[in-house]
Amino acid sequence: MALLPIVRYPDLRLRQPCKAIETFDARLAGLADDLAATMRAAPGIGITAAHVGILERLTVIELDGPGSLRIYVNPVIEWFSPEMQRHTEGSVSMPGVTDEVERPARIRLRYQDLSGAPQAEDADGLLAVCLQHEIDQLDGIFWIDRLSRLKRERIVKKYGKTRG
């Protein structure tokens, strides 16, 4: 496993939609392993290929420590619950700043595993938050886009100060 360099905000690659993965091979499995290592080192609980400048629809999430890694290839949310939840979010591409984001409390998604087999999953709680956050990133939507303009400007200013 290799640690990959993380793209930092405001890099324009964080605003580009990622392309679907069509080849399921050792390169993809290796990229998933490298993403997991990079996420753990950041540290974080989720990361996408876009966070390391690779514009492909791949994300890994690890909420419960080693052994709980989840890999999602070409994830798409099919359903959002009408109930909402608020959760503090941040990004490995914008370290040092967080804010509360409101998102649907439950989702249903479809995706593929590393072999290309179709999968479906329902998620709630922190997993639902993380999946929505990472899938937004795969769609070219950076997490601060979910904040009000005033909050977004405050976060960008605070991030600018933390960078020196």
Would you call 83 a catalytic residue per the annotation?
Answer: no
Chain centroid to CA 23: 21
CB 107 within 8 A of CB 142: no
Of 56, 62, 89, 134, the catalytic one is 134
H, E, C per residue of 21-42:
CCCCCHHHHHHHHHHHHHHHHC
Q: Which of 41, 49, 40 is nearest to 13 (CA)?
A: 49
DSSP E strands in 63-157: the ranges are 70-80, 84-89, 99-104, 106-112, 118-124
CA 68 to CA 52: how far, in whole Å?
A: 22
Q: Which residues are catalytic?
A: 134
